[in-house]
């Protein structure tokens, strides 16, 4: 006969759960793991479990990271709950709200309190929930839909742009999440439609080569001379260069400038060229495509 494996001590069970969950455990998890109500009660009385919310504890202390407080809030709202709204946006890297109550969406009836801002929905679709760093959280698409009802249009547009820069924006998913949240119209939905319309108006971003062709066409139409294209100047390749005026023009599209390293390289390049005595003008994709007259006027002024 095989010897029966010993049941792990309660404190070890609690420790293993807490280790996987940013230092927090739920009562229902402890019961499922085999702890008795008496064992849980004794540890609460002795301070080995510290209450965070009703039915959610931290082993021995409240010194938790942000992720621990987020997961504790979700666990407090029961099965099917998810971090949402402002805190979901922060977890996804779309914005950075700090302090205040934690936003949680749950399909259950639960009142908000001084620590939790609860959004009760009849149903939170599985397609609208994901898991990030062991924390159930609304998807990027659903988070944008939810944000539309509680933040300004400018901040919503900023969050959408952040999702785009992180390659996390799926417009079809946003529209599908909006449809699943049907019935929630009014100012929030108007905000979302306006931000999506502005995004569509910007149009698809041109490739680098196409943007450079657009710049060459602009220079030709506005009779801005004959610059050297993709020339090397002071050790750097530049988009357009007018040697007599020592003028350099660079175009920036988000596809190839979306990360911090590329952003930093661009600024180092611009600084080095300016210190070497060149005038450097940088134009965004939006400026070249939608405001070519302004771009041409700026180049003409620099050439003069």
- Confidence band, pLDDT 50/70/90 cuts, at residue 255: low
Do 175 and 287 reside in the same domain of the chain? no
CA 132-135-141 angle, 5° bins? 55
Do 105 and 77 reside in the same domain of the chain? yes
Do 99 and 25 reside in the same domain of the chain? no
At residue 61, does pLDDT exceed 60? yes
Q: Within the chain, what is the greatest distance between any pair of CA atoms? A: 96
Which are the contacts of 243, defined by CB distance < 8 A and separation ≥ 6?
228
Do 126 and 38 reside in the same domain of the chain? no
Q: Give the CATH number, domain containing residue 244.
A: 3.40.960.10
Do 194 and 76 reside in the same domain of the chain? yes
Total-model pTM = 0.67
- Confidence band, pLDDT 50/70/90 cuts, at residue 124: confident
Do 5 and 25 reside in the same domain of the chain? yes
Q: Measured between alpha carbons, how far is 116 from 104 in angstroms, rounded to an integer?
A: 7
E strand residue ranges, 243-278: 247-252
- Confidence band, pLDDT 50/70/90 cuts, at residue 256: very low
Q: What is the DSSP letter of 139?
A: -
Do 74 and 55 reside in the same domain of the chain? no
| Single residue among 28, 46, 63 that ends a domain in this structure | 63
Q: Measured between alpha carbons, how far is 25 from 17 in angstroms, rounded to an integer?
A: 6
More confident residue, 185 or 243: 243
For residue 274, what are the domain limits? 208-303
Tell which residue, 199, 240, 205, 200, has the closest CA to residue 220.
240
Do 218 and 138 reside in the same domain of the chain? no
Do 1 and 20 reside in the same domain of the chain? yes
Do 113 and 182 reside in the same domain of the chain? yes
Lowest mean pLDDT among 88-97, 104-113, 181-190, 292-301: 181-190
Do 82 and 152 reside in the same domain of the chain? yes
Mean pLDDT of the chain: 88
Q: Measured between alpha carbons, how far is 26 from 54 in angstroms, rounded to an integer?
A: 9
Residue 105, judged by CB atoms within 10 A of its CB (0-12, 13-18, 19+), counts as buried
At residue 285, does pLDDT exceed 90? no
Do 192 and 79 reside in the same domain of the chain? yes
Lowest mean pLDDT among 77-81, 150-154, 203-207, 272-276: 203-207
pLDDT for the residue numbered 57: 95
Contact present, 35 and 13 (Cβ < 8 Å): yes
| Single residue among 202, 219, 247 that ends a domain in this structure | 202
| Single residue among 63, 81, 106 that ends a domain in this structure | 63
pLDDT in tens, 158-207: 999 889 888 888 888 999 999 988 766 677 889 999 999 888 766 555 56
pLDDT for the residue numbered 110: 86
Q: Give the CATH number, domain containing residue 196.
A: 3.30.460
Report how many domains make up the chain. 3
């Amino acid at each position: 006969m095989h010897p029966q494996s010993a049941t792990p001590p309660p404190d070890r069970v609690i420790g293993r759960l807490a280790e996987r969950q940013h230092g927090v455990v739920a009562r229902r998890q402890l019961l499922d793991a085999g702890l008795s109500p008496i064992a849980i009660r004794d540890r609460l009385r002795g301070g080995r479990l510290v209450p965070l919310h009703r039915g959610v504890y931290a082993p021995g202390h409240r010194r938790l990271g942000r992720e621990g407080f987020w997961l504790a809030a979700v666990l407090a709202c029961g099965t099917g709950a998810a971090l949402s709204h402002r805190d979901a946006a922060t977890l996804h890297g779309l914005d950075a709200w700090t302090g205040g109550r934690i936003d949680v969406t749950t399909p259950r009836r639960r009142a908000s309190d001084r620590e939790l801002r609860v959004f009760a929905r009849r149903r939170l679709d599985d397609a609208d929930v994901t898991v990030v760093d062991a924390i159930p959280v609304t998807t990027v698409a659903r988070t944008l839909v939810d944000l539309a009802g509680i933040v300004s249009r400018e901040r919503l547009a900023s969050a959408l742009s952040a999702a785009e820069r992180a390659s996390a924006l799926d417009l079809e998913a946003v529209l599908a999440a909006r449809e699943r949240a049907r019935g929630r119209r009014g100012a929030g939905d108007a905000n979302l439609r306006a931000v999506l319309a502005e995004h569509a108006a910007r149009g698809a971003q041109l490739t680098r080569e196409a943007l450079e062709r657009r710049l060459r066409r602009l220079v030709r139409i506005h009779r801005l001379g004959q610059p050297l294209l993709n020339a090397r100047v002071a050790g750097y390749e530049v988009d357009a260069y007018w040697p007599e005026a020592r003028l350099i023009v660079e175009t920036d599209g988000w596809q190839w400038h979306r990360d911090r390293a590329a952003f930093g390289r661009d600024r180092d390049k611009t600084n080095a060229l300016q210190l070497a005595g060149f005038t450097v003008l940088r134009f965004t994709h939006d400026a070249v495509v939608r405001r070519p007259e302004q771009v041409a006027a700026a180049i003409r002024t620099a050439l003069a």
